[in-house]
Amino acid sequence: MTFDIDMIKKVYERYPERIAAARQVVGKPLTLSEKILYTHLWEGNATQAYERGNSYVDFAPDRVAMQDATAQMALLQFMQAGKAKVAVPSTAHADHLIQAKVGADKDLQEGINKNSEVFNFLSSVCDKYGIGFWKPGAGIIHQVVLENYAFPGGMMIGTDSHTVNAGGLGMVAIGVGGADAVDVMAGMAWELKMPKLIGVKLTGKMSGWTSAKDVILKVAGILTVKGGTGCIVEYFGEGAESLSATGKGTICNMGAEIGATTSTFGYDDSMRRYLASTGRQDVVDAADQIAEHLTGDPEVYANPEQYFDQLIEINLSELTPHLNGPFTPDLATPVSEFRAKAEANGWPLEVEWALIGSCTNSSYEDLSRAASIVEDAVAKGVKPKAILGINPGSEQVKYTAERDGFLDSFRKFENARIFTNACGPCIGQWDREGAEKGEKNSIIHSFNRNFAKRADGNPNTHAFVASPEMVAAVAISGRLDFNPITDTLTNEAGEQIKLDEPKGSELPAKGFAVEDAGYQAPSEDGSHVVVNVSPTSDRLQLLEEFPAWDGKNIEGAKVLIKAFGKCTTDHISMAGPWLKYRGHLDNISNNMLIGAVNAYNMETNKVKNQLTGEYGEVPAVQRAYKAAGIPSIVVGDQNYGEGSSREHAAMEPRHLGVKAVLVKSFARIHETNLKKQGMLGLTFANEADYDKIQEDDTVNFLDLEQFAPGKQLTLEFVHADGTKDIIMANHTYNDQQIDWFKAGSALNLIKQQEN
């Protein structure tokens, strides 16, 4: 058994009391989102109502999930915390690092060979610290979580933006950076700005070619890629209850594409059926005891405009299939309007590849409905035109689909490729033949993201997102503008035929089956487990404790760079080819700030080395300062560190010896990450002082010894001509965060407290 029924029961036991406390402070009926948030407060019972979109709140999530690319640094950091075990149930999933090329068996072996060092590390560190490990080939993190761990009314965080998929089973599940996962695994609180709430009322019932995917494709068209930012999207209404749990998962999954914090649905029969079918009748029994708390209050859904910050209504009976894209998931087009729009925009209509699967759409229902289309076409003598790729979300789904004949249906395409149960083409891990030529072409898939280069690295691949059944229909016709509701196809005998509507099963009649799900349970007592990391590895490096503050003012610091304009976490720690060094702090530090524009010459990756007067690359110059034992600071503009919650953007400067980052304003997550890594994250008291800082300046902190909450710090900038400017800096450190700084990092402090 992989799920933790005792933990779930404990969560449910505290629900009634915590809901009562929440009702008291909020003073009105509660949405489902509020119920889950208020029952997961770090402080226990609510003592105050939090302002949506404004208050920062500490939460206590029930679970943590990590994928292989992000788990490396998260677990390397966790090892620093000095804990024997993780504080909450946690899992790691080997899914992102496996490339799709020829087909499952060969690709999986190749992926294991290429990444064995990383997989072995993850396996041993999970074994040691009580973390479940899903081995390469076991499946994609979010599908595996839905099948095994998600539960109504729970709260989880995961180091991947599509963690939100678990909303399909009524969770509040949120994608975070590795540093947040470390906090929760180490037993600390997790902070989130109280989200605003968007209600989506679903009325009617879907039929024919429409699927759950079309709900979110439609919502994405309404809200756009930014419309959900800072919000939880809560779906409700009779239409919501008519959807399967995995269909709900698809809708929540793509909530990430509208920027939503997460999305969720109230507990209903579809969830009961799915939980029971995946071996979790215990969870149903427990959830049924408090069922009224696992959905929004009736008053809320009766008058939603009074309780949500924004309300959208969609009638499922009128919803038709959509194709979203290219290059952005919010460019929504109903299939009936697609031909005209494609012609007007010059989108290539012929499709060479069609892909079904990923964490978004690889449920039993999805595969069965798509397979029915293929079966129908073949029975009517139509020869499918495109190449069809399938990447199943988990071994359990794949095994069951194989048993029930769906994979054989797909194999009726001459050129079908069943890929590994892994991310593959969805994350650019697709070695597509000919992609390097950069030719303009179209593909269609049932994944979630379709940014340029995302699937095959070719910037001219126009990727369109659709439901699995629409992907199958387009694959058969070979054309994007094929509308199966109205159009006919010519079969081998030259006859015109129409495809039947998709048919499928929500759940397998014979139940799910799997021989080896690919799960590795951790040792009960992992103290004997040795985590081996080769000192000569270029992909993994054990972390060393960052040094504690020496209690003195920082003196003689050099200005490494004054960043001009936008400086996101991508500018500070680039992705792309650097991804493979995510587990090796020293190697990945060679990308530190290489994308930032130097305000003194408006060039990237070219800063003055004040020791030699010569210009060099940012990491190289910083390494020269470090070697000479000279501290440095980074100066930045507005909203410094916006973008992702990537902790590397804070760890790299810390590792290379930067002491402080002084900016006009911070993106909050990056500011917190700097604090956690023991850095000084400061803002100009007077933004105009940014202009006073010169290229050859030396910086002295005058009163760091009196570092205290709410008290400005005084910095002296000594210019090359001997003149000086005193610049006052604000900060937002509280007492605990100052302790992090003094200890050298938050993890150092945890470790000290542990000993």
Please, is 691 exposed, middle or buried when counting C-beta atoms within 10 Å of its C-beta (0-12, 13-18, 19+)? exposed
Stretch that binds ligand SF4, among 273-281, 420-428, 563-571, 596-604 (CB under 6 A): 420-428
Given 18, 93, 96, 162, the catalytic residue: 96
Contact string (CB under 6 A) for ligand SF4, positions 94-133, x = contact: -xx-------------------------------------
Residue choice 73, 118, 141, 531 for contact with ligand SF4 (CB under 6 A): 141
- CA gap 242, 410 in Å, rounded: 28
Residue choice 52, 162, 462, 623 for contact with ligand SF4 (CB under 6 A): 162
The least CB distance from residue 190 to ligand SF4, in Å, is 21
Residue choice 176, 377, 427, 473 for contact with ligand SF4 (CB under 6 A): 427
Stretch that binds ligand SF4, among 135-143, 196-204, 290-298, 503-511 (CB under 6 A): 135-143
- CA gap 483, 469 in Å, rounded: 12
The least CB distance from residue 423 to ligand SF4, in Å, is 3
Stretch that binds ligand SF4, among 118-126, 346-354, 419-427, 501-509 (CB under 6 A): 419-427
Structure tokens at 457: 């690295």
Instruction: Say whether 162 is catalytic.
Output: no
Residue choice 294, 423, 444, 560 for contact with ligand SF4 (CB under 6 A): 423
Stretch that binds ligand SF4, among 292-300, 421-429, 595-603, 736-744 (CB under 6 A): 421-429
Size of the site for ligand SF4 (CB under 6 A): 14
Nearer to ligand SF4 (CB atom), residue 338 or residue 419? 419
The least CB distance from residue 663 to ligand SF4, in Å, is 31
Structure tokens at 584: 């090796």
Contact between 475 and 351 (Cβ < 8 Å): yes
Nearer to ligand SF4 (CB atom), residue 465 or residue 633? 465
Given 33, 52, 93, 95, the catalytic residue: 95
Q: What DSSP assignment string belongs to 193-207?
A: EPPEEEEEEEES---
Residue choice 448, 467, 598, 604 for contact with ligand SF4 (CB under 6 A): 448
Nearer to ligand SF4 (CB atom), residue 445 or residue 608? 445
For tokens 């300062």, name the residue.
625
Structure tokens at 674: 């700097």
The least CB distance from residue 157 to ligand SF4, in Å, is 15
Given 623, 646, 670, 731, the catalytic residue: 646
Residue choice 107, 147, 160, 637 for contact with ligand SF4 (CB under 6 A): 160
Nearer to ligand SF4 (CB atom), residue 427 or residue 662? 427
The least CB distance from residue 37 to ligand SF4, in Å, is 24
Instruction: Say whether 277 is catalytic.
Output: no
Stretch that binds ligand SF4, among 35-43, 138-146, 185-193, 312-320 (CB under 6 A): 138-146
Q: What are phi and psi of 49, to 5 degrees?
A: -85, 135
- CA gap 596, 602 in Å, rounded: 9
The yes or no reply on residue 394 touching ligand SF4 (CB under 6 A) is: no
The least CB distance from residue 464 to ligand SF4, in Å, is 16
The yes or no reply on residue 426 touching ligand SF4 (CB under 6 A) is: yes
- CA gap 44, 26 in Å, rounded: 15
Stretch that binds ligand SF4, among 423-431, 463-471, 589-597, 666-674 (CB under 6 A): 423-431
Nearer to ligand SF4 (CB atom), residue 260 or residue 423? 423
The least CB distance from residue 67 to ligand SF4, in Å, is 6
Instruction: Say whether 63 is catalytic.
Output: no
Contact between 389 and 426 (Cβ < 8 Å): no
Q: What are phi and psi of 301, to 5 degrees?
A: -75, -20
Instruction: Say whether 273 is catalytic.
Output: no
Contact between 445 and 454 (Cβ < 8 Å): no
The least CB distance from residue 65 to ligand SF4, in Å, is 10
Stretch that binds ligand SF4, among 12-20, 122-130, 422-430, 724-732 (CB under 6 A): 422-430
The least CB distance from residue 504 to ligand SF4, in Å, is 21
Question: CA distances (Å), 85 to each of 11, 127, 541, 751, in order?
Answer: 20, 10, 21, 13
Question: Given its phi and psi angles, is residue 173 left (phi above 0), alpha (psi -120 to 50 degrees) or beta?
Answer: beta
The residue among 273, 204, 284, 282 whose CA lies nearest residue 237 is 204
Q: How many CB atoms lie within 10 A of CB 489?
A: 22
The least CB distance from residue 166 to ligand SF4, in Å, is 12
Contact between 620 and 657 (Cβ < 8 Å): no
Instruction: Say whether 96 is catalytic.
Output: yes
The least CB distance from residue 428 to ligand SF4, in Å, is 9
Q: How many CB atoms lie within 10 A of CB 221?
A: 18
- CA gap 662, 681 in Å, rounded: 6
For tokens 């960043």, name the residue.
563
The least CB distance from residue 144 to ligand SF4, in Å, is 10
Nearer to ligand SF4 (CB atom), residue 181 or residue 427? 427
Nearer to ligand SF4 (CB atom), residue 165 or residue 477? 165
The least CB distance from residue 362 to ligand SF4, in Å, is 9
Q: How many CB atoms lie within 10 A of CB 705?
A: 9
The yes or no reply on residue 157 touching ligand SF4 (CB under 6 A) is: no
Q: At what angle do helices 178-185 and 68-80 cross, to 10 degrees?
A: 50
Given 62, 160, 456, 481, the catalytic residue: 160
Residue type, 679: M
Q: What DSSP assignment string belongs to 76-144?
A: HHHHHTT-SS-SS-EEEE--TTPPBSS-HHHHHHHHHHHHHHHHHHHHHHHHHHT-EEE-TTSB-HHHH
201, 215, 459, 423: CA torsion to nearest 10: 100
DSSP 8-state assignment for residue 386: S
Nearer to ligand SF4 (CB atom), residue 136 or residue 348? 136
- CA gap 243, 677 in Å, rounded: 44
- Kindly report the three-state secondary structure assignment for every residue of 210-245: CCHHHHHHHHHHHHCCCCCECEEEEEECHHHHCCCH
Nearer to ligand SF4 (CB atom), residue 107 or residue 375? 107
Q: What DSSP assignment string belongs to 241-300?
A: HTS-HHHHHHHHHGGGGGTBSEEEE---HHHHHHHHHTT-HHHHHHHHHTGGGGS--HHH
Report 690-719 residues binding ligand SF4 (CB under 6 A): none
Nearer to ligand SF4 (CB atom), residue 270 or residue 429? 429
Nearer to ligand SF4 (CB atom), residue 162 or residue 539? 162
Contact string (CB under 6 A) for ligand SF4, positions 333-362, x = contact: -------------------------xx---
Q: Is the dihedral of CA 103, 115, 91, 70 positive or negative?
A: negative
Give how far the C-alpha of residue 567 lies from the chain's centroid of Cα atoms, to the nearest Å: 21
- CA gap 660, 392 in Å, rounded: 46
Nearer to ligand SF4 (CB atom), residue 69 or residue 155? 69
For tokens 């089973």, name the residue.
169
Given 142, 322, 449, 655, the catalytic residue: 449
Given 123, 244, 263, 644, the catalytic residue: 644
Instruction: Say whether 95 is catalytic.
Output: yes
Stretch that binds ligand SF4, among 137-145, 299-307, 324-332, 719-727 (CB under 6 A): 137-145
Which residues participate in catalysis according to the annotation? 95-96, 160, 449, 644, 646
Which spans of this chain sit near ligand SF4 (rule: CB under 6 A)? Answer: 95-96, 140-142, 160, 162, 358-359, 423, 426-427, 447-448
